[in-house]
Amino acid sequence: MSYPSLATRTAVVTGAASGMGAATARLLAAGGARVALFARRTDRLDALAAELTAAGGQALAVTADITDQSSVDAAAKAVHDAYGLVDLVVNNAGVMLPNPLSEGRLDEWTRMIDTNLTGALRVIRAFAPDLAAAAADGRTADLVNISSIASHVLFPDYAVYGATKAALTQLSAALRTELGPRDVRVSTIEPGLTDTELGGHIDNTELRGQLDGMFTTIPALAAEDIADLIAYTVSRRRHVNLRQSIVLPTRQA
């Protein structure tokens, strides 16, 4: 689907090296947006930027680790130097590491909190002034946070992951009270079962098998489905905020 209103936008997409982030970057660039690609895997980013540029788009590969404040600061400077102010931020980077809470996996808890919540906050801190300035100038300004149905649907052994996503959903709601009066839209997308690399991070054999079983029985969403929803959300007229969207495979309850 085509979204002509994207042609005037300058976007940052985190977690752009694969999955929903890469699909979103492709769709935004195809619509004419200038897209800064954030992720840790430089080779993947460079390949995607080359692909988008070859297709006639504008893309900037920016190696960034959102769990590191200095890395986010440097990445923001690179975007500002290349493109100026940003008016669209897609906070997509995330990690899912389920395990029974009784295992006490502090390493996994820390990684999920640092990426899914604190990392998102670092990106918001870096670009919220841009969004407010763009809105004050009469432009459309969007912050899109990619949460999960795990923010409100309970899954055994996903307690910490679900808690980070619930916090992100709540953060988005709170930010609407701060940024909405300044004409900055804040939207939350909560996908259900989606075919991305997220499940590849799981080192618990039993839980990985359960997830694989779900993919066998339920036709999952594709990353492109989420990208299309994001593009639709940010393409509404600037006074319309699709504040929270839950998107599931048809067969998922």
Report the catalytic residues: 161
- Rounded Cα–Cα distance for residues 142 and 66 (Å): 19
N- to C-terminal Cα distance for the chain? 27
H-helix or E-strand containing 145?
strand 142-146
- Rounded Cα–Cα distance for residues 156 and 150 (Å): 10
- DSSP-derived pairing of the beta strands 244-247 and 142-146: unpaired
- Angle (CA) 97 155 148, round 5°: 70
Tokens of 91: 């906070």
Residue from 183, 221, 232 nearest 6 by CA: 232
Tokens of 62: 């920016």
